Amino acid sequence: MRPQEVEQTLKHGALMGCTEALFTFGERPEEEHGFNDYIHRIGYTTILDYCEAMCKKSIQFGILPHTNAGILTYEEMKRLRPVNASMGLMLETTAKLPAHANSKGKDPEVRIAMIEGAGKLKIPFTTGILLGIGEKTSDREESLIIIRNIHKRYKHIQEVILQNFCPKPGTPMAGFHIPTTDEICATLQLAREILQKDIAIQIPPNLLDASTLISCGVDDLGGVSPLTIDYVNPEHPWPAIEELKKIIGNAELIERLCIYPQFIKRGWYDTNLEPLINQLAQTIKSRSS
């Protein structure tokens, strides 16, 4: 998106009551032919320069930034921390799979190192595992244990997403096995057994039938947008708030920020974000009362 598009989205998002701007893009896009020319044309040297600038714009519009930009170094995360309320990276799996053969950033050791780096920097963090990319049940268990152990050391993981891979027609993985509802439920229950109680377990409500999985251990449905599509899975529309209320049945739907309350209490954010965090926390409190 060009800067003008980002600003328009932020402006409209603020008017619609959105509280989070998710900044996500392909890993190390500068390595792709033609990208550097593009980023220079819009006035920036690197994608991180652009991301940092747009995060600042987001704060000006009154929306908290959350960046999920693939593999970042410790120094890069340190640079982005002052303009992000939280950050994220899916672990996906600890298994080394053919699906990841052409992506060096998918190396489990590399991803684990980044998640640990975020912990050292006291960045409230989102991670998770991807289901249906060729992993075994034992791989899922090992991945959840790794996440648990990292959180035991650094206490920075807010939520773990259990996301089903959605095979797309015409791609090499088009024929991959799609996990069944029972399989996903069993994995959710496994996650609830393994992970600490202060970690929320999330599923994407636009990719799964959440109504059948709430009782399996789900306590978070992630972010939904009244304005933008799910750019990663554009063929799956976000459910509206009223639809979410129907999906969860007798459970209670409570709004939250992209930084969870326990991390606000700990002060795990840059001081320049404090006025906006306090303001938005008060706003969602009044909206839910």
Q: With beta carbons less than 8 A apart as the criterion, state whether 46 and 88 touch.
A: no
Domain ranges of the chain: 70-288
Q: Is the pLDDT of residue 159 over 90?
A: yes
Model confidence at 127: pLDDT above 90: yes
Assigned token pair, 189:
């229950």
What digits encode the pLDDT tens for the residues 228-278?
999 888 999 999 999 999 999 999 999 999 999 999 999 999 999 999 999
Whole-prediction pTM value?
0.95
| Cα 14 to Cα 139: distance, rounded to the nearest angstrom | 41
Per-residue pLDDT, 232: 85
- Cα 241 versus chain centre, distance: 19
pLDDT digits (tens, 9 = 90+) for 199-235: 999 999 999 989 999 999 999 999 999 999 998 889 9
CATH 3.30.1490.20 fits 70-288, yes or no: no
Percentage of residues in the chain having pLDDT higher than 70: 100
- Burial class for 14, CB neighbours closer than 10 Å (0-12, 13-18, 19+): middle
pLDDT-derived band of residue 29, with 50, 70 and 90 as boundaries?
A: very high
